[in-house]
Amino acid sequence: MHRYSFHLAYDGSQYFGWQVQPGLPTIQAVAESVLSRIQKAPVRIVASGRTDAGVHALAQVAACDLTVSIPPENLQKAMNRLLPKDIRVMAVARVPASFHPRFHARAKTYRYRIFRGQVCPPFDRNYVWHFPYPLDEHKATNAVPLFVGRHCFRAFAAADERYTAEADMCREVFSASLQRQGDELSYVIRGSGFLKHMVRNIVGALVEVGVGNASADDLRQMLASGTRHVGIRTAPPGGLALMDVEYAPEAFLPQDISGI
């Protein structure tokens, strides 16, 4: 067996997210079907994490095992020939059999784009949240640092996760910023890992603060209590993109454990 890692970029607009779902087009299903054609036998691919329906990636990291040994650049070319143009393999590398794209990930960076102009340019329609309504951006920006640090993010997880008893909803946010660039508000968050809908709910919460539906104190309380006492919207998926997944160098050294 030969393990390969991939950097994948995809436009998630036409997909029901990363994870295989019977009868629905997903990134994982398409990537696996292409790899299976190359190997002429079923192949499973594992990613650093799922992305939701409509969410994009500039550098998702994934890995698979192949029985055949193929030079990485040839594998990349073969995959890009077979993949639809909205999924691209940006890089391929041989990795030790112990490398695991999810377990070994140390940090992930997401970006969320909010378009503030009155008319959303047609070319950005699938890549931004069009929010032309009044918004106190200063207030929203001031609430950004609240989420930095180690917190229980239960109140910001998806509803179906929020009410489960999963022990550990603690995640560490290393940094976060919200910046105006022309007509766009760009939110970037880097952290140890993210719960389902967590980034979209944080963005939604910041917008509620900017709109005046919630205060910074409300958000502080939600982080402390783990319950949502104020309604917050989940920002739509199109504005979100996985920008980067980081690994410790040791992840690429041969080890005893086999992750996949």
- CA proximity to 208, closest of 148, 143, 123, 145: 143
CB 250 → a copy of itself: shortest distance, Å? Answer: 28
Cα 142 to chain centroid, rounded: 24
CB 31 → a copy of itself: shortest distance, Å? Answer: 13
The yes-or-no answer on residue 52 being catalytic is yes
Q: Provide the strand spans (E) within the chain.
A: 2-10, 45-47, 56-66, 87-95, 105-115, 129-130, 149-152, 170-181, 184-191, 240-247
- CA proximity to 125, closest of 54, 195, 193: 54
CB 122 → a copy of itself: shortest distance, Å? Answer: 4
Task: Say how many CA atoms lie within 13 Å of 227 toward its Cβ.
Answer: 2
CB 145 → a copy of itself: shortest distance, Å? Answer: 30
Helix (H, G, I), strand (E, B) or coil at 224: helix
> Which of 48, 141 has the CB closer to a copy of itself?
48
Q: How many residues does the chain have?
A: 260
Sign (positive/negative) of CA torsion 225, 227, 233, 237? positive
> Which of 122, 231 has the CB closer to a copy of itself?
122
Residues making contact with a copy of itself (CB under 8 A): 9-11, 56, 76, 80, 85-90, 119-123, 125, 127
Catalytic residue among 11, 52, 218, 244: 52
Residues acting as catalytic residues: 52
